Amino acid sequence: MKDYDILKAKLIIWDLDDTLWDGVLTEGGVNFRPEFLTFVEDLVTKGIMNSICSKNDFDRVKEEFFKSGNQKFWDYFVFPSIAWTPKGERVKNIIKNMNLRAENVIFIDDNQSNINEVKFYSPQIMTALPEQVPKMIEELYLVNEYDFEHTRLKQYKLLEQKAAAKGESSNEEFLRSSGIKICIKNDCLENIERIKNLISRTNQLNFTKFRDENIEETIKNTNSAYIIAKDKYGNYGICGFYSLDKKENKLIHFLFSCRIMNMGIEQFVYSYLGRPKLKISGEVASTLEGPVPDWIKVVDNIELKESKPVKNDINILFKGPCDLYSVLSYIDSECNIDTEFPYWNKDLVYILAHTHTAFIEQTHRFSPEKLLELTKLFPFPNPDEFKTRFFDKKYNLIFLSLLTVTHSGLYINKNDGSYAFFGYANRDITDENNWDIILKSLPEWAKEQNIIMLREFKKHYIFAGNPPVDTVIKNLKYIKENIAADLVLILGSEIHTDKVLAGYENMAERHRILNGAIRKEFKDEFEYIELTDFIKGDEDYIECINHFSRRVYADLAYKIIEISNKKLKSNYLKVKN
């Protein structure tokens, strides 16, 4: 039974014996599970933290990481609790020390009694057995947040350092000695993505919990500002945001990152603003009552540390489905890397169509007004699917995966040649013979309404094909004429597998048809990476033909590094140690 949701996880707490490694440390030698260690690293790159709760000797555990050559993985864990005492209270304390909520934590242990004990102390915690971890690994691609600079890990390491420094002193004594400084800045639109991220992710110190769909307009029409904080332990970056309606003297937004919890910053800022009206929504892990913290100093400026500092004027874009994310975990860069991968937007719509060549083309071919018009008639496309930097002239090199093209259903508008994107490429929704299958999962009361929508859709659109060869060729010709960057195409594997998910049937043949047409049409006009070249056997496929073993992703990374450095005439990319 599954008791976890990787999309909710902010922290995973690992047992060690017969979990992270095979064997029991006190009974002899142990062997780390390499796929679990890789998962730990991938979690950090997704901004999900890792901790340890194990019944063992701390020094001996640390020594095991070092002597086995896994020192770098030891550094990926925060607030490890390694002792011989029961785990229930220790897990609860890890969560408390990291300023998290149990409902955002997964505890992994091979011993059901340990899981039961942890559940007793933290009833809302998610749990899993070691044998469930491979499935968890497969599901990680669903998390669409990336932290390639490991900024969040550095922040929790800072929190860990502060906790150790605090020792037995009172919290107020510790805060007074910490030298906390904040600056309040109003250029919110210059940092809008970080502010949006705060609004969408922050719960514990989000006093209004208003998930603002028009945040830019809110900022323009209110007194809005973000807060940067630092102390002698480090810089916390943008850690707070508010919007104040001055006419009503009422806060529309008032929220802070949990990483500055218990520093008194939210109380200080509320008092600094003159304690305006504030309707608190839901539970908040702080109170704004009581004396104003006098250990915080407001300064004119604190240098904002960018999560992705500009390294030089070389820029690379990776665009495509989740295969490219897995590749980037093997690459270090001395240039600027941008990504455009599928993600869940604020309305919990999965944004995937933007990775298709047809959507890339039409975002450039049509005006913004026309693109907005295309979103009005049917539930798809979503406006977010027209957001791309693909044609930005700053890019020197673009890697585009074509795996979406053979898997997803594409439709062409009969009147204006625009595109819509729905379902699978092997199931034409304009064919009424497919409607029973398409609507099978819906309750009876919903089917009639959807049939009306499908009939209307059929009036306007025709199916582009399975695979949509002619359309993709046309798209690529347009793209080639309108980008300044070198374009490298990643072509799907042509080696058959019996591992099939819905929509992936006969995919090797579809890849073979599309790849052959592209090679014939463009010959040497593009550089190609053939995923077929990396498949050694069926074990290299995970679940289906478009998901691969770690070795395949590593080999693909090496090829990307080779091509990049050759085209850019310098070693800007290298294998991550």
Q: In CATH, what number is assigned to the domain containing residue 120?
A: 3.40.50.1000
Q: Are 181 and 57 in the same domain?
A: no
Report yes or no on whether pTM surpasses 0.75: no
Residue 401 pairs in a beta bridge with: 490
Please say whether the dihedral angle defined by the alpha carbons of residues 389, 391, 394 and 396, taken in this order, is positive or negative.
positive
349 and 384 in contact (C-beta within 8 Å)? yes
Q: Per the domain annotation, does 459 fall within a domain?
A: no
Do 393 and 471 lie in one domain? The reply is yes
Is residue 447 domain-resident?
no
Work out the average pLDDT over 313-338. Answer: 86
137 plus 187 within the same structural domain: no
Work out the average pLDDT over 409-437.
Answer: 93
Q: Which two tokens stand for residue 51?
A: 């901790």
Residues 208 and 95 in one domain: no
**Is residue 164 one of the residues assigned to a domain?**
no
pLDDT in tens, 121-162: 999 999 999 999 999 998 888 887 888 888 889 889 988 888
* E strands, 232-267, in order: 234-245, 250-256
Short-list 381, 376, 347, 326, CA closest to 148 = 326
pLDDT at 167: 65
Judged by average pLDDT, the poorest of 192-206, 385-399, 475-489, 515-529 is 192-206
Identify which has the larger pLDDT, 553 or 201. 553
The domain total for the chain is 3
Q: CA triplet 518, 523, 528: central angle to 5 degrees? A: 70
* Cα within 13 Å of Cα(281), Cβ side: 13
Query: Hey, what long-range contacts does 340-344 have (CB within 8 A, 24 or more apart)?
Result: 340/388, 340/389, 340/390, 341/144, 341/146, 342/144, 343/144, 343/145, 344/7, 344/142, 344/144
Residue 232's pLDDT is: 81
396 and 347 within one domain: yes
Q: Could you say which DSSP state residue 26 is in?
A: G
The answer to whether residue 221 scores a pLDDT higher than 90 is yes
Domain boundary among 265, 298, 331: 298
Q: Provide mean pLDDT across the span 540-547.
A: 87
- Stated as kind and residue range, the H or E segment containing 564 is helix 550-568
> Both tokens of residue 405?
């093209």
283 and 178 within one domain: yes
Cis status, amide bond into 34, omega within 30 of 0: no
Q: Is 162 within the bounds of a domain?
A: no
Alpha helices per DSSP H over 421-539: 435-438, 444-460, 469-482, 507-522
Give SS3 for 120.
Answer: helix
pLDDT at 305: 54
**207 contacts 251 by C-beta, under 8 angstroms:** yes
User: What is the band of 62 on the pLDDT scale with cuts at 50, 70, 90?
Assistant: very high
Cβ-proximal residues to 112 (8 Å cutoff; 6+ apart), any chain:
129
Q: What is the pLDDT confidence band of residue 311, given thresholds at 50, 70 and 90?
A: low
User: Of 444-448, 497-501, 519-523, where does mean pLDDT reach its minimum?
Assistant: 444-448
**Which range marks the domain in which residue 398 is found?**
315-425+465-575
pLDDT in tens, 437-486: 888 878 888 888 889 999 999 999 999 999 999 999 999 999 999 999 99
